[in-house]
Amino acid sequence: MSVNMAVDFGGVKMQNPINTAAGTFGYGWQFQNFFDVSKLGAITTKGCAAEPWPGNPAPRMAEVRGGMINSVGLQNPGVRAFAEESGPWLDQLSKDGCQVICQVCGHSTPEYVRALELFDELCPWAAGFEINVSCPNIAAGGAACGSTPEGAGEVMRACRKVTDRPLFVKMAPANVVDVARALEAEGADGLSIINSIQGMAIDVNTRRSRVAKPKGGLSGPLCHPIAVRMVWEVAQVVDLPINGVGGVMTGEDAAEFILAGATCVSVGMANFVDPTASLRIAGELEQWAESQGVSDINELVGAFEC
């Protein structure tokens, strides 16, 4: 039995539900020698701001039980350099059938707007944009720009005026129901749930953090049940399509997100463990859909039975 695996994520037509999580897949071309990236439904590129960001000092990453903790600090070359260096390859990737979603970063609403304006101008091949509202708002003392419905709504309202292309939001793992409602009201086309969870990893011999900063972003399989729960909670209260993100290592992990209400799924930490993981998971998800006796993967979105 053949299952239709195509999905529509807020206006982005994907040939299958597998996406890649921003920051775990570079700008796509870094993986081209491992497998045919065009076989994926979409990739989400590493976040870029209007101007280059240097990121945090080393060490930036550390393994922990069940996952990893990172403190990269969203290092990026800025939108102009990104478009010039990676644009031609990404343009061809989109023509080959894999959609390209570009992540937008900023430390304030005006910074998000400026970065999105540059993306909209310089990246005609982008199918849509993901706004990372988990960036620290420097003007507000370092709290995440999207940590409250008011903050997330302000960013979305301003960005919605910049482009007619699909706009998605990478949500922080906090207050997700209220923030999701605010984002829907301000015109978001879809939600990516969730971003990494803040955690700490201490070297007990040096008594110092195992990354350069005291805290970092926790990701991997240990976060998966939390992310599935938050996807399900949000799916109950908004009509927006959801991209499930968090600890997807197998096709069954992806299937959990689909059943909880996600239209598509992003593979993150698994890319570090196995560079071909995203393609493998796409195949495993299709096999699972076939085992469920459906003709279309969309029949399984939100099919969790309480």
Sign of the torsion angle spanned by Cα atoms 143, 146, 148, 154: positive
Q: Which amino acid is at 194?
A: I
Kindly state the greatest CA–CA separation across the chain.
Answer: 57
SS3 percent helix, strand, coil of the chain, rounded to 5, is 35, 20, 40
| Contact criterion met (CB below 8 Å) for 94 and 100 | yes
Sign of the torsion angle spanned by Cα atoms 281, 286, 290, 295: positive
> Residue 192 and residue 240: Cα distance in Å, rounded?
10
Query: Mutual orientation of helices 176-185 and 224-235 as an angle, nearest 10°?
Result: 50
| Contact criterion met (CB below 8 Å) for 242 and 191 | yes
What is the DSSP annotation of 195-256? -PEEE--EETTTTEESSSSS-EEEESGGGHHHHHHHHHHHHTT--S-EEEES---SHHHHHH
**Residue 105 a catalytic site member:** no
SS3 category, 257: helix
| Contact criterion met (CB below 8 Å) for 136 and 111 | no
Q: Which of 48, 123, 135, 223 is catalytic?
A: 135
Active site residues: 135
